[in-house]
Each structure stands twice: as structure tokens, then as C-alpha cells.
Structure 1
């Protein structure tokens, strides 16, 4: 059976320790090669300014890191007064829906399950339009949701619903609405991927790592709309003591809040890709992408350590 995998690994960088590598690009390249990747891209910013990079101007698929764009788009609509975090799905879509709020959707705590996208995504490759409406119908036609409202359970369907809500509330296509509200204020460019546009709000965006890092710095950096006080916005507690917030995982450290996200797309005899990004407590931002669907927690811990050591010496 051909089975796609879209996994968001909420990995958080360890605190910097004794430096063994002075170059984050070299540390990343060594890690990527060890994961079997033929190529990779990385951009590192310090205080919003370029610090190190490799192939950072080439557009790359973001996979699940696309979710931050969707979450930020909803945030702007809340700020505009079009939506409210306490608004129910039914109110936002003007149709019968599970009794959950937008805050619960964005934090994967809406009780929606199972994830109906996983076995269908292979059928949607190379489409030009997001499948938000289709997935919304799948969710709303389901007799019973198998999740627990208020409990974190990662599911792409949450962000497909948010994609449909964005289009419904703005009267604009999802991509146009989010480009204007999320990308343009950060001064970056991006678009839905020619390969993965159907995955739209949960995994369909593509941009350069240079632009991805700048996007994250603008919104999640220490002075950003989210980064200035991330726990003031919707979050869901996770079992390990961290939180899932606006399309990113948060962990409080001695140095402050670290925010990160990773994702992977893999199709048998089809495209494979992965992405990882992190915003350090001091605002140092790292965005990476590679051509291997890395989905191992231990592999990301190794990357965490390598990047931490390299950055601590800069």
C-alpha cells in the first residue's frame, strides 16, 4: 500500500553547550548527509540579519512548517475583528460542525480525529488548488470524532478547517488572503508548491529558507507579534511540559522561550522532502530544508545539539 507520511516533529533546540563546531552550515550539512539527504538548504539570522546560509535563495517545500503561515493568518483575522479565538467552527463556517473553537483548532486540541488526510494525500499530488473544502466535508460528515476536546492530538484536518475558515471569512482564496496578511508584512515572498498545493494550510507552502527565516523572525522573534508573549495567545499543553501554539511548538528554557517545528512528506515512488525551523530565545533563527523525510526524534536531537554547539561559538 502506498502511504504518505506528513509528520510534524516538535523538536526544540538544547541549550548551547561546549562548542565543538564553529559553523552552523557545516554542522547542518554533516547532519543532512548522515540522514541520506542529497542536498539541503539553511539560513541563519541573528537579530534579523543574515549570519550564515547555504542555497538559501532556492524555493523549498515547507511541508508541515506551512502550518505557522495558516495560524498567523488566523491571528491577523482575529486582530482585524473578523474572527475570534472563542468562535466555534460552526459559527466560523456557518454550518453544523463539531463543538470546538478556533483556538482549539489552531492548537490541535479540537478533538478531531482520525486524520483523514494521511491515506488521501498521494491522490492529490500536483493539484493546483487546496483541498480545504474537501477535507472539511470529510470532517463534518464524520459521525463521531475520536479525539478529546482540550487534549493535544496532532491532525492535519485542524489546519484544513482553518484554511476553509480563512477563505470563508475573507471572501478571498486562501493563498491570497495569507500572502497579504502574513508574508507581505514580513517582507518575504512565497507561494503554494506546484507539487503540494492541495495540502495548502497544513503542508502546501514553498519559499526560500532565507525568506522562511525572515518570516519566522518577523512574527516569532522577541519583538514579533507572537514572540513578544507567545503564551498570551492560544496554546495547548503537551505531555512533555511543552506547548503547541500558533503552528509552532514552544518550550520554556532557562534562557527563555524556544519555538520550533519540523515536518516531512514522503510518498512511495514519489516526492520526498523535509523541513526544520527554530527560533532561539535570543531571536537567532534557523530555517532548513532537505530532500529526505526525516521523522526520527533522535535524528532531530542530534541536529539540535550540532546547531546549538555551532551557534554558541559565534
Structure 2
């Protein structure tokens, strides 16, 4: 049985076990689309909210600024254009916050532990949302205890604002131009999920995201060597590590990448959505979109089920 059919069968069983009806699946083998599946009222070609898979789009667009020398992984917030600080003040601890680096934001090691995005009540579903969320978060301060990694949406909201401050282009337009179009993909910030912005606001089909995500395979040369070195630098075989909007695990044959995305909020439309991306070291990658927000156990089961099918 072909790998795409094995993965399709595995996903169907997972959907049944978890009571999910509407989903889309794209399967790539050596960066060629080999399977596109729809379940019930959805398909792999439908544009849907992809939640936190949006972070990789933000990170890839940001890499263009690093590759062009307009930004560095080591750049601190005090060195970015002053419009960023002016729009997000007051800061609770200017000395600490201004010393946060681009790398720390990408890797979720900024020590920002408060996350204003967890309560969207009173937040307008508009382009101003990310500014409000960042301002509310930076007004709360940082953890006084160094953290190795603390996953926080606000890290990527900050990166989106920094891109806008440097380029003077809208975040969405810049990402479309620098992250999506060069990789044969299309997408937009969703009208109903605009409040999630750079950390979760994109709408794309599973197929489009799979085309974009080919960039994470070094064989495609769709990301710079600098970007791949950044992904590999902190990778280990024991614990997934945050890198360019994805998590990486070192394997005997290279690396596995993955990310789950999900949200559930009455302030958004639709009010819940989920997604999953994985790229394994055997040349198989998958993108799944579905219309429910499930438990961590269900998400882990999805990862494990599809990975076994990809390797069997």
C-alpha cells in the first residue's frame, strides 16, 4: 500500500476515535504532493484557519530580514525601530524587556510568561489586536527565573510587529510576498481570526501549507543555510526544541519537524479550529486541518498515528 493510502487510513481511524467529522489532509513525499484527501464537508483544498501553524509563516518571512542583514538573531528589542516601542509601551521593566533578542522570541526563551492572547474578550478582531495584546503582556513583566523554554503566543506577536516596524509594510502583505508566494503557496489572515495575527491568524488549505512547508527540507533550497543551521543548532534527540515556528527533534538520520495548532474562543469565527504539520526524516510530510479543539492526548495520538503510518 502506498504511503499516502496508509496515512489516509490512519487518519480516518483517528478521526473516528476522536469524533471529528470535517478534516483535510495533504501528504508530500520528497516534496511532491502524493495525496490530497477530504473528509465529510471539508477538503485539503479548502482554506481554513491554521492556528499556530501560522508561526512558521512569520518565522520564514522574518528570515528574509536576517538573510538581507536588516536584522540579526542577536538583535535586541532596544535596537529595533522606535515605532515598535512607542506602540507597545508602557513596559513594566524596560531594562529587561529591551534586552530580549530575536532568537529568544523565536525559541520561546524570552522569559515572557504572561500571555494576553489567552483571553480575547474585549480585543477587537482587527489589525490593532496584536499591538493591544503585546502592550497588555509587556505591561505585566517577565519571569525573574530564567526559563529554558516557555511557549507563548506573544513572542510571535512581537516578531510580527518588528517586521512591520522594519519594512513599513503590513505584516500580512510582507509574509505573502516573502514567505508564501516564493514557495508556490497562498493564504491570508482570516477575517474571523485577525485577532490572532502573527501567531495564529492565517487561513490556508492543507495543500497550500504543505507547499509552503517544503522550505523546511534542505533539499529544496527554499530556506537559507543560515535558517537551517538555526533549526539544527539546539536540536536534540530527547526533547522537542522550538526553532523557526516549528519544533525539531534530532534523529539518527537527520531531524523530524512538527507543530500543532489549535484555538477555541467565542470571540473568533469559527470559534474553534486545529491543524497539524509534520516533516519526518524519511521524506514524508503531512498537513492536517480539522474543525475541533481537542485534548493534548488526542493531538499526541494524531502525531503518533500518522508517524507510524509514514514509516510502516
Give the TM-score band, short-chain normalised: 0.7 to 0.9
Q: Does residue 156 of structure 1 match 2:139?
A: no
Cα 1:303/1:229, change in 2 over 3 Å:
farther
Q: Secondary structure at the match of 1:247?
A: coil
Alpha-carbon displacement from aligned partner over 1:177-214 (angstroms, at most 9, x marks no partner): 11111001101100001211111111000101001011
CA contact (8 A) 1:222 1:281 kept: no
Contact 1:112 1:147 in 2 (8 A): no
Shift of 1:38: 2.0
Q: Runs in 1 of length 4+ with deviation above 3 angstroms? A: 19-22, 95-98, 122-125, 147-150, 219-231, 234-240
Determine the structure 1 residue equivalent to 2:50.
62
Matches within 5 A, 1:47-86: 47-54=30-37, 55-86=43-74
- Residues 68 and 246 in structure 1, CA contact (< 8 A), matched pair in contact too: yes
**1:209-228 to 2 correspondences below 5 Å:** 209-220=206-217, 222-225=219-222
Q: Residues 231, 72 of structure 1: CA spacing in aligned structure 2 closer, same or farther, 3 A cutoff? A: closer
Name the structure 1 match of 2:191: 194
- Give the superposition deviation at 1:149: 4.7
Q: 1:267 aligns with which of 255, 265, 268?
A: 265
SS where residue 211 of structure 1 aligns? helix
> What residue number does 1:15 align with?
none
> 1:310 Cα shift?
2.6
Counterpart Cα distance in 2 of 1:208 and 1:151: 33
C-alpha offsets along residues 206-240 of structure 1, whole Å, 9 cap, x if unaligned? Answer: 10100101111124454445596866216667995
Secondary structure in 2 matching 1:44: strand
Deviation at 1:274, TM superposition (A): 0.6
**Matched residue of 1:277: which SS?**
strand
Please say which of residues 202-211 and 246-255 is displaced more in the overlay.
246-255
Displacement of 1:169 in angstroms is 0.5
* TM-score between both structures, scaled by the size of structure 2: 0.84
Q: SS state of the match for residue 286, structure 2?
A: strand
Partner of 1:288: 288
Distance 1:239 1:301 in 2: 17
CA distance in 2, matches of 1:221, 1:62: 24
When the two structures are aligned, how many residues end up with a matched partner?
291
Aligned to 1:108: 108
Q: Following the alignment from structure 1 to structure 2, what is the Cα–Cα distance between the partners of residues 130 and 219?
A: 31
What residue is the counterpart of 1:247 in the other structure? 245
Distance 1:253 1:38, change over 3 A: same
Gaps of 5+ in 1: 1-18
Give TM-score, length-normalised by structure 1.
0.84
1:287/1:33 CA distance change after superposition, 3 Å: same
Counterpart of 1:233 in 2: which secondary structure? helix
User: Relative to structure 1, is the Cα distance of residues 186 and 152 closer, same or farther in structure 2, using a 3 angstrom cutoff?
Assistant: same
Pick from 6, 15, 30 the counterpart of residue 32 of structure 1: 15
> Given that residues 237 and 250 in structure 2 are in contact (C-alpha distance below 8 angstroms), is that contact kept between their aligned partners in structure 1?
no
After TM superposition, the structure 1 stretch with the greater mean CA deviation from structure 2, 235-244 or 161-170, is 235-244
* Equivalent residues of 2:24, 2:290 under 8 A apart: yes
